[in-house]
Amino acid sequence: MTQYQSKRQKKIAEAKAAAKDKAKDKVAAVKNQVAMIKRGNRKALIIMPQPTGNPERDSLADLEAVKQAFKARLMSEIQERGLDSKHYFVLNFQTKKQRDTFLKKTGIWEFGNHYVDGCKLVAERRVTRFK
């Protein structure tokens, strides 16, 4: 076998491998589409990566996919439920007694001692410069 033939065979082998990878990706995409149709077009919670045959690499990829799915779900819940910290603030005291004294002296106690609806407080206090 000549050097030309071995280079040619190497290119052919690389092209075959690339074609197989492309085919695997297409199969995975079709499987995901079928799964979405079966779920009623609901988005999959976790799209798992295709196995490579290497158990260690596959396990790490699976764990990373699950981790990303949890992060995505958490962020969507934060946005849906309004749990983002950009619209509330927290006062912190060293003791419960300090907290209760502050709430009573400011008159906020009547609105609650843990979670106070700021809009109700503003309406009751008739704060005029509030939008």
38-70 tens-digit pLDDT? 766 566 667 788 888 898 998 999 899 899 888
56 and 10 in a common domain: yes
The answer to whether residue 53 sits within a structural domain is: yes
Q: Binning pLDDT at 50, 70 and 90, where does residue 25 land? A: confident
45 and 105 in a common domain: no
The answer to whether residue 131 sits within a structural domain is: no
103 and 56 in a common domain: no
8 and 70 in a common domain: yes
Q: Looking at the predicted structure, is the pLDDT value of residue 16 above 80?
A: yes
Look at residue 131 in the predicted model and tell me its pLDDT: 57
Look at residue 98 in the predicted model and tell me its pLDDT: 94
SS3 127: coil
Average pLDDT over residues 16-37: 83
Whole-structure pTM value: 0.35
The answer to whether residue 130 sits within a structural domain is: no
116 and 59 in a common domain: no
Let me know: does 62 contact 49? Beta carbons within 8 Å. yes
Average pLDDT over residues 28-41: 75
SS3 97: helix
49 and 34 in a common domain: yes
Higher-pLDDT residue of 44, 24: 24
Overall number of domains in the chain:
2
Let me know: does 117 contact 124? Beta carbons within 8 Å. no
Question: For residue range 74-119, what is the model confidence (pLDDT) as tens digits?
Answer: 887 777 776 666 677 788 899 999 999 998 898 888 887 778 888 8
Q: Which of 101, 95, 99, 97 is nearest to 114 (CA)?
A: 99
Look at residue 1 in the predicted model and tell me its pLDDT: 55
Q: Which of 36, 41, 39, 45 is nearest to 73 (CA)?
A: 45
Higher-pLDDT residue of 125, 131: 125
75 and 27 in a common domain: yes
Residue-range definition of the domain harbouring residue 41:
3-81
94 and 77 in a common domain: no
Q: CA–CA separation, 12 vs 123, rounded Å?
A: 76
